[in-house]
Structure 1
Amino acid sequence: MGFDVARARAETPGCETVIHLANGGAGLMPAPVLKAVKDHLDLEAQIGGYEARRARDKEVEGLYESAARYFNCSTDEIASVENATVAWDMAFYSMSFKPGDRILTAAAEYASNYIAYLQVAKRTGAVVEVVPNDNSGQLDVKALENMIDSRVKLISVTHVPTNGGLVNPAAAIGKVARAAGIPYLLDACQSFGQMKLDMQEIGCDMASVTGRKYMRGPRGTGLLYVRKSMLDKLEPPFLDLHSALWTGPDSYEMQPNAKRFENWEKYVAGQIGLKTAIDYAMGWGIDAIEARVTELADGFRDKLSAIPGVTVRDLGEKRCGIVTFTRDGVEPEAIMATMTANKINCSVSRITSTRIDMTQRGLEKVLRTGVHYYNNDAELDRFLEVLESVK
């Protein structure tokens, strides 16, 4: 039985007004998620914020249960935070480094993460090293293996980069990390919602995600996964009365679970919306979503490649729903402006977001699209029609 695209579109209000190919930035919320967020905001307005939170305790706590099902982990290993940046930073800045310690990362690492590496290297004397790519453009797992020594204190990799459809081999990296006993942090911001993320299969110790991209949740939501065996090795860079208990005038105790990475204030409507989004995605089936998105993206790349002067820029043995390209003699901003005028959403990814990778490939910027399961062939054909009109 094929994917019910008609139902997906009927349950996505935005499909009536725009061709949305910016799912790598923020997916269109489906109607159930939109309703969940609005209903809670209405309740807050009617009875008060604290009171509304107490009334929806089951739904909020259900977020941890839904996330644990998606990640195949325990609810104690999940923290609910404001966004993927906070999730990633809370994990990374909980690590301790000293002079000479090595941080291994990928060429397609996201700017925010790399800036954090540089800051910690400046403060501590640790060293940041980029693992080479293999011939397909993904991280070379054999090269990673060969770089391992006693000074490597962290392997930190972006699963799907912001500037292309590459899917780095997360599980193979996990095998290397586990064999060497090295902590492994995965930025799964852009893979969450478009593919399975089984933490037991991947083998990472920490993983950060956002709700707003392929999971189709509300903005201002994120999750951090921390493996139980890693929890007691990490103290968050800051604590509050939610993440820790003030046990005496000169003492405190951190939460015994991943909630030690949270803080007290929460976007409760967003938490309920994210729970709804995860449940909604799992209702479709994550494998079915990945198959649908991959099929759409592969077909889109083929059609783009058939246009004279267009070069698809996606790397890797495995590729996902993000599709990037350049066109000879035409700036990506000009393409984006024309698309916007035709009610088609896309974006431009620049060297400042993935400097190492873009420099290695001699690129300054690419036009970024991201297909999702609710997109259809007619929308992609319309994009191609408008693209050919851009001079």
Structure 2
Amino acid sequence: MDNVQIRKDTAGCEDIIHLNNAGAALMPVSVANAIRGYITIEEHMGGYEAANANREKIDDFYEYAARLLHCNSRNIAFTNSATDSYNRALSAIPFQKGDVVLLTENDYPSNFLAFISLKKRFDIELIQVKNSPGGEIDLEDLEAKLKQYQPRLLSVSHIPTSSGLIQPLAEIAELIKNQETIFLLDACQSMGQIELDAVKSHAHFVSGTFRKFLRGPRGAGILYVSDKALESGLEPLFIDMRGAEWIDDYAYVARPDAKRFEDWETAYALMMGATEAIRYALEVGIANIEARNQELISYLKKELIKLPGIQLQDRGSRQCSIVTFSIENTNEVELKKYLYGNGINISTTPRAAAIIDFREKGIDWVARVSPHYYNTEAEIDRLISVLKGI
């Protein structure tokens, strides 16, 4: 990795120490230029005409996304966000009263809200799989509950929003691969920072976003739809003329590929940015990104534990480039404001985003620092220096 060039490619590095990549990362200049360039084409040609004239570039999105997730381009859909991807997949599941959904205690907050809403509407049963002593999903409990309940759906967040824990996806895949249960994997925090093979996950659906570790634009998401899901006829509840062909007064035929989960109205400029974000990440190399991020978080944790009043809150035998910690006698709003005033971006996670996790840890909020490969040890030193001033 050429870190000097990577930082030159990242204009924001000149303005801010950005350690909030789990929120929204700094885009490479080439990503922003891809968006601006397509907007200019629409400005001069018109939206429909621009899409028709750039069909090959639009098709490139599906090819690059397939390379990222190690699947076929027919399995890829472009969406508005990770939550949009997740909910489109969720809408395809024909829930009936009494259906069981297995959740982890570290599922994404928006996912919990969606399931609570489904419970109110369809009277489904929500059952949590226990955590192991290390913090990850308890694989023995998962196996037992798969056998006991034969659930309609298993939902797992690969990496939760409230900590750097990485769920043991390979082991989960081994347990779920021969089950009738639909497997929905939320990968919004893992895409772009660790290797992800959608096919080997045995997930029916994998949802993700571009604004985080993929370093793409906000308002762009990705949905992987497995061959098994497509061949079984799963389709979004509110399918439109992008995803299906109207063939009779009360009949339609869904597309054979994952584009059945897309809408006719698409932000193609953001798709161009998303394509470039994937291309850039693949050029740097996901393995290289993960290795560099491990260097950064190891350094960060080593320096944080030297500070009085700070308690690291991450659990799990394998952890990613998200570091969470609590600080004694400090308000989360004031902390973010203080750091931003010193040229540093971080995030905080409130109790409402991780009720179960924080209840178990006995905390109300955490500071969340998420370095990425374009960050430097010098920037971490600056963060530590500023934290000393609290």
Q: How would you bin the TM-score normalised by the shorter chain?
A: over 0.9
Give the length in aligned residue pairs. Answer: 388
Match of 1:96 among 86, 94, 97: 94
Contact 1:314 1:324 in 2 (8 A): yes
Contact 1:22 1:371 in 2 (8 A): yes
Identify which range, 135-144 or 11-20, moves more after superposition: 135-144
Aligned to 1:136: 134
- Once the two structures are superposed, what CA deviation does each residue of 1:259-280 show, in whole Å capped at 9, x if it has no partner? 1111101111100110110010
Partner AA of 1:95 in structure 2: I
Matched position secondary structure for 2:200:
helix
Distance 2:308 2:149 in 1: 50
Residue 61 (str. 1) matches residue 59 (str. 2): yes
After TM superposition, list the pairs within 5 Å mapping 1:197-236 onto structure 2.
197-231=196-230, 232-236=232-236
Matched position secondary structure for 2:78:
strand
Contact 1:67 1:278 in 2 (8 A): yes
Residue 374 (str. 1) matches residue 364 (str. 2): no
Aligned to 1:357: 357
- Once the two structures are superposed, what CA deviation does each residue of 1:328-383 show, in whole Å capped at 9, x if it has no partner? 11122222111110111011101111222122222211111110000001100000
Contact 1:12 1:28 in 2 (8 A): yes
- Once the two structures are superposed, what CA deviation does each residue of 1:190-212 show, in whole Å capped at 9, x if it has no partner? 11100111012222111000011
TM score, norm. by length of structure 2 = 0.97
Aligned to 2:308: 308
After the TM superposition, list the runs of 4 or more consecutive aligned residues in structure 1 that deviate by more than 3 angstroms. none
Matched position secondary structure for 1:52:
helix
Aligned to 1:180: 179
Structure 1 residue 91 displacement after superposition: 0.4
Partner AA of 1:379 in structure 2: E
TM score, norm. by length of structure 1 = 0.97
Structure 1 residue 97 displacement after superposition: 2.0
Partner AA of 1:185 in structure 2: L
Identify which range, 149-158 or 127-136, moves more after superposition: 149-158
Aligned to 2:288: 288
Structure 1 residue 284 displacement after superposition: 0.7
After TM superposition, list the pairs within 5 Å mapping 1:3-152 onto structure 2.
3-148=1-146, 149-152=148-151
- Once the two structures are superposed, what CA deviation does each residue of 1:17-49 show, in whole Å capped at 9, x if it has no partner? 000001001010001111111111111112222
Aligned to 2:343: 343
Distance 1:249 1:146 in 2: 47
Distance 1:358 1:109 in 2: 13
Aligned to 2:278: 278
Matched position secondary structure for 1:374:
coil
Contact 2:150 2:181 in 1 (8 A): no
Residue 165 (str. 1) matches residue 168 (str. 2): no
Structure 1 residue 55 displacement after superposition: 1.9
Structure 1 residue 150 displacement after superposition: 4.7
Identify which range, 260-269 or 248-257, moves more after superposition: 248-257
Partner AA of 1:21 in structure 2: L
Identify which range, 358-367 or 80-89, moves more after superposition: 358-367
Aligned to 1:245: 245
Matched position secondary structure for 2:253:
strand
